[in-house]
Amino acid sequence: MIYRGNTDEYLSIGTLSGEELGGLLEPVPSALLVLWFTQDHNHLRIDGENYCFNRNELICLTEFHQIEEIDIKEARLIKFNRSFYCIVDHDSEVSCKGLLFFGSKQLPRMDLPAEEIEIFETVYRMFSLEFENTDHLQGEILQMMLKRFLILCVRLYKKQCRLQADGPKLDLIREYNFLVEKHYREKHSVADYAEMLNRSPKTLANQFKKMSDQSPLEFIQNRRMLEARRLLVRGDLSVKEVAYDLGFEDVQSFSRFFKREEGMSPAAFVRIKGKKVNF
């Protein structure tokens, strides 16, 4: 089921299985996705890492994730673009920026507990039913249903990651995550982001220590490393071009950084990786 608005708004929900992967692979600019697996043994390779997802696991993806070796037994898909609902402009409504989307190296992954399945099922079912209405309120109602579903995901993710439910400390971490996502190519020190947030580097370090298993600097390095893998797997840039794209002064510095993080050189990494599939 697909909704298209008059100003390029896009929303789709549906079921993926076997060879029926069109909704996942259809290119949609600025797309964000939620996958809810409804059968066991779903295998995906995302950004060079192998994953197996089982029933009632959920993951969140952006247009920048590279997916390959797809073997989905069955999953529900929710896919929307920025024109339909911008999570940045509406962050105060759902608080998923820098948490479910545009975070760090870690793939946002949730296990849906038995006591919450009915709630998620109900919202998804109401979501689906609204596609049958075609009046002038449909777009607004679909937005409301999307927000409700994302809020449920945020609550679940916070709970399972043992994050503080609310408050300025978590907001600071989320905003840092999002700023890194926007500026990691040109800003590589914690001090750069501390200045944008009107905080000291020490304050950021203390907050990360309380609420994350990564330091602020590790977060920057992980994001640069993730993009390095993506660009190398894509294959249309040389190692030198990838190095400069990510803000390294020379290819030698990039190669040392990559080998320290990945355990192999960029050239060796390219040799062992297959082709990717973009969505």
Is 214 in the same domain as 263?
A: yes
Asked whether residue 261 falls in the same domain as residue 153, the answer is no
Q: Which of 180, 178, 181, 197 is nearest to 97 (CA)?
A: 178
Residue 278 included in any domain? no
Domain CATH for 37: 2.60.120.280
The pTM (predicted TM-score) of the whole model is 0.75
- What domain range includes position 184? 168-272
Helix (H/G/I), strand (E/B), else coil: 7: coil
| pLDDT tens by residue, 33-88 | 999 999 999 999 888 788 999 999 999 998 878 787 688 999 999 999 989 998 88
* Residue-level length of the chain: 279
Out of 160, 185, 212, a domain closes at 160
Residue 277 belongs to some domain of the structure = no
What does the CA dihedral 128, 132, 138, 139 come to, rounded to 10 degrees? Answer: 50
Q: Give the tens place of pLDDT for each residue, 80-103.
A: 998 999 888 888 888 888 888 887
Q: Express each pLDDT in 4-34 by its tens digit.
A: 888 889 999 999 887 766 667 677 888 899 9
Number of neighbouring beta carbons within 10 Å of residue 71: 11
Domain stops at, among 134, 160, 186: 160
Domain count, the chain: 2
Please tell me whether residues 149 and 12 are part of one structural domain. Answer: yes
> Which of 130, 160, 190 lies at the terminal end of a domain, its last residue?
160
CATH number of the domain that residue 191 is part of: 1.10.10.60
Asked if residue 279 belongs to a domain, the reply is no
